[in-house]
DNA sequence: CGCACAGTTGACAATAGTCAAACGATGTGG
DNA sequence: CCACATCGTTTGACTATTGTCAACTGTGCG
């Protein structure tokens, strides 16, 4: 179980807190050449300030006063919740462009930590509110992003409640591969323990299932935390149409 | 397992669909006497039309073209997703005031069915869009509601991924009781199978756990699908601080 | 009255968890 | 430069929680 366990961050949490909203709003860097000059630039671009975080750093902790939202500019962040005895459930992994901490309450509802070295942009609640007031379309963008995140959360409920270990791992790998443009190569920056706590399994079960997939020639482990999907179709069948 | 199983409604669903957003916007009936006349009345009140649904009726099915959102005026609705082999995961139960189907995509991502006799208000996407255009604050209300729903989904992930059968049932009963004002009496309109598919368990395990709670004097079964919480504190401990 | 169905209970099986040991990579200090 | 410590991962043996299959009970409805 979670190596983190130990003393659970069990602050008072009767009040609903901030929650994550993944906002797909790629930074200017990735603009397609064919795209005409955009009429509405990123309204958050000039707000707040950026921070560089080492691997393992905590961005905020469940129960903390929630004064700001964050946007990931590079790297991977994990969000998790904990039970009093230290059992951990990872709520999601955030990549470049994703936002976290968006909500209308006064405490964070989960902990955010850097899986890899990351840069995040901190935007205070006040600033965010100001943008929503100034730009009528912005709230709808946030709504759209939050809605997408909710969809993902519902898929995850199906996974956690009804899928077997193999199905969970297959789904996880396919989702990661769908996220990256690079065909069959998947980047796995997180530990087996992180994967386990995301899929509702133990490290041992994840490890055994990975070994099973290797033996069945479904995947191949590469160097540097990368992995190749050898049989996308078989994995898709396993994952249950997702 | 789900008695529903049989032939799974396995339509094409590569395109992301509509998703649920629970909108706490109590109807005029429940206005507090102390509340001053509200400046902004329910902007959806006059839209669409109401339908009365029998117990068991399907409102919409996963994969259907998503042309409208719905608001529950009375009764209880369940939302579920299915795997190709018929395994079912209930995503949530909706009560009076809750909305479903809100999203920015063209297919419903889950099925909605009436647990009890219900009345629902159907609002077309076009009408909803029009309200968002006309009332700048409305998108933010929807955002707030969607955000709350996402918080609930994240709690459910923790439950599904990390809690034991007893902890799941205790959490479930406490959530239901928190929803109703009537102290220790909880209304359980859904079947054991529904509860099982919501908690990621089987009917048999739910039944056994209920029996265990009865033996331990934690709960008492009443007539007509009602139940009394005899030891709220013990249940809270069991549920893991929630 | 009896059929149908939800719920309960029992016996047994299986998936995943627990505990433990060993392995490999990485980094530190002698 | 190598020994050693540490951490993440893998593998094994065993356990246990939950699922499966099946029978039975109780309740409501035709």
pLDDT in tens, B173-189: 999 999 877 778 999 99
Chain B environment of A13 (Cβ under 8 Å) = 241
Confidence bin at A225 (pLDDT 50/70/90): confident
- Residue bearing the bigger pLDDT, A34 or A228: A228
pLDDT in tens, A131-176: 999 998 899 999 999 999 999 999 999 999 999 999 999 999 999 9
Distance from CA of B206 to the nearest CA of A (A): 14
Positive/negative CA dihedral, B37, B38, B44, B50 = negative
- What per-residue confidence (pLDDT) applies to B45? 74
Residue A46 has pLDDT above 50, yes or no: yes
- What per-residue confidence (pLDDT) applies to A6? 37
Assign domain B162-239 one CATH number from 1.10.10.10, 1.20.1260.10, 3.30.43.10, 2.60.40.1220.
1.10.10.10
| Interface check A118 vs B, CB under 8 A | no
pLDDT in tens, B114-150: 999 999 999 999 999 999 999 988 999 999 999 999 9
Contact between chains at B163 and A199 (C-beta distance less than 8 A): no
Distance from CA of A64 to the nearest CA of B (A): 16
Positive/negative CA dihedral, B91, B93, B95, B101 = positive
Using CA atoms, how far apart are residues A222 and B46, in angstroms rounded to an integer? 59
Q: Please provide residue B150's backbone torsions phi and psi, each rounded to the nearest 5 degrees.
A: -65, -40
| Interface check A136 vs B, CB under 8 A | yes
Q: Which residues pair with A50 in a beta bridge?
A: A121
Using CA atoms, how far apart are residues A212 and A199, in angstroms rounded to an integer? 17
Closest by Cα among B156, B104, B149 to A21? B149
- What per-residue confidence (pLDDT) applies to B113? 96
Using CA atoms, how far apart are residues B169 and B184, in angstroms rounded to an integer? 16
Range of lowest pLDDT (A158-172, B12-26, B136-150, B192-206): B12-26
| Interface check B89 vs A, CB under 8 A | yes
End-to-end CA distance of chain A: 27
Positions of chain D reached by protein Cβ under 7 A: 8-13, 17-22
Judged by DSSP in three states, B186 sits in strand
Q: Average pLDDT of B176-205?
A: 93
Percent of chain A with pLDDT over 70: 82
Distance from CA of B169 to the nearest CA of A (A): 14
Strand order in the sheet with A118-124: A49-53, A118-124, A68-74, A99-100
- What per-residue confidence (pLDDT) applies to B136? 86
| 3-state DSSP of A221-239 | ECCCCEEEECCHHHHHHHH
Confidence bin at B196 (pLDDT 50/70/90): very high
Class of domain A164-239: mainly alpha
pLDDT in tens, B94-116: 999 999 998 777 899 999 999 99
Q: What is the CATH topology of the domain spanning B17-138?
A: Jelly Rolls (2.60.120)
- What per-residue confidence (pLDDT) applies to B47? 79
Distance from CA of B208 to the nearest CA of A (A): 19
Q: Average pLDDT of A223-242?
A: 90
pLDDT in tens, A128-142: 999 999 998 899 999
Using CA atoms, how far apart are residues A174 and A241, in angstroms rounded to an integer? 11
The DSSP output letter for A152 is: H
What are the sequence ranges of the domains in chain A? Answer: 17-160, 164-239
Judged by DSSP in three states, B208 sits in helix
pLDDT in tens, A50-104: 999 999 999 999 999 999 999 999 999 999 999 999 999 999 999 999 999 987 7
- Residue bearing the bigger pLDDT, A168 or A3: A168
Percent of chain A with pLDDT over 90: 71
Do residues A213 and A171 make contact, with C-beta atoms less than 8 angstroms apart?
Answer: no
Residue B166, CB, strand D, below 7 Å:
yes
- What per-residue confidence (pLDDT) applies to A10? 34
- Residue bearing the bigger pLDDT, A18 or B221: B221
Q: Average pLDDT of B155-172?
A: 98
Residue A201 has pLDDT above 90, yes or no: yes
Give CATH superfamily name and number for A17-160: Jelly Rolls (2.60.120.10)
Q: Please provide residue A58's backbone torsions phi and psi, each rounded to the nearest 5 degrees.
A: -90, 130
Range of lowest pLDDT (A192-201, B38-47, B121-130, B134-143): B38-47
Rounded distance in angstroms from the CA atom of residue B202 to the C1' atom of nucleotide D21: 13
Q: Which residues pair with B219 in a beta bridge?
A: B229
Confidence bin at B224 (pLDDT 50/70/90): confident
Do residues A68 and A121 make contact, with C-beta atoms less than 8 angstroms apart?
Answer: no
Residue B203, CB, strand C, below 7 Å:
yes
- Residue bearing the bigger pLDDT, A23 or B132: B132
Interface of B with A in 66-85 (CB under 8 A): 81, 83-85
Confidence bin at B74 (pLDDT 50/70/90): very high
Interface of B with A in 196-215 (CB under 8 A): 197, 199-200
Residue A161: which nucleotide is closest by CA–C1'? D18
How many C-beta neighbours within 10 Å does residue B124 have?
13
Positions of chain C reached by protein Cβ under 7 A: 6-11, 15-20
Percent of chain B with pLDDT over 90: 70
Q: Which of A154, A171, A199 to mutate to test the interface with B (most CBs of B within 10 A)?
A: A154
Residue A166, CB, strand C, below 7 Å:
yes
Scanning every residue of chain A, which has its alpha carbon at the shortest distance from the alpha carbon of B142? A143
Contact between chains at B150 and A21 (C-beta distance less than 8 A): yes
| Interface check A125 vs B, CB under 8 A | no
Percent of chain B with pLDDT over 70: 82
Confidence bin at B40 (pLDDT 50/70/90): low
As given in the structure block, the two tokens for residue A47 are 């707000």
Rounded distance in angstroms from the CA atom of residue B92 to the C1' atom of nucleotide C20: 41
How far from B172 is each of B74, B155, B177, B235, CA to CA, in Å? 21, 11, 9, 10
| Interface check B180 vs A, CB under 8 A | no
């Amino acid at each position: 179980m979670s190596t983190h366990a130990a003393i659970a961050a069990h602050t008072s949490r009767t009040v609903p807190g901030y929650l994550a909203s993944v906002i797909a709003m790629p930074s200017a860097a990735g603009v397609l050449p064919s795209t005409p000059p955009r009429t509405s630039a990123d309204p958050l671009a000039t707000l707040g300030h950026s921070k560089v975080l080492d691997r393992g750093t905590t961005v905020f902790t469940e129960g903390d006063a929630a004064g700001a939202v964050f946007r990931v500019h590079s790297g991977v962040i994990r969000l998790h919740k904990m039970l009093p005895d230290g059992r951990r459930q990872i709520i999601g992994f955030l990549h470049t462009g994703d936002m976290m901490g968006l909500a209308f309450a006064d405490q964070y509802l989960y902990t955010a930590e850097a899986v890899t070295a990351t840069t995040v942009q901190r935007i205070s609640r006040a600033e965010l509110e100001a943008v929503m007031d100034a730009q009528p379309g912005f709230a709808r963008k946030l709504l759209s992003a939050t809605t997408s995140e909710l969809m993902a959360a519902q898929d995850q409920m199906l996974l956690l409640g009804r899928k077997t270990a193999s199905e969970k791992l297959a789904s996880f790998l396919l989702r990661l591969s769908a996220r990256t443009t690079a065909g069959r190569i998947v980047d796995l920056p997180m530990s087996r323990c992180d994967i386990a706590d995301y899929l509702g399994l133990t490290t041992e079960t994840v490890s055994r299932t990975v070994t099973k997939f290797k033996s069945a020639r479904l995947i191949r482990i590469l160097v540097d935390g990368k992995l190749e999907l050898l049989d996308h179709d078989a994995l898709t069948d396993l994952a249950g149409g997702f």
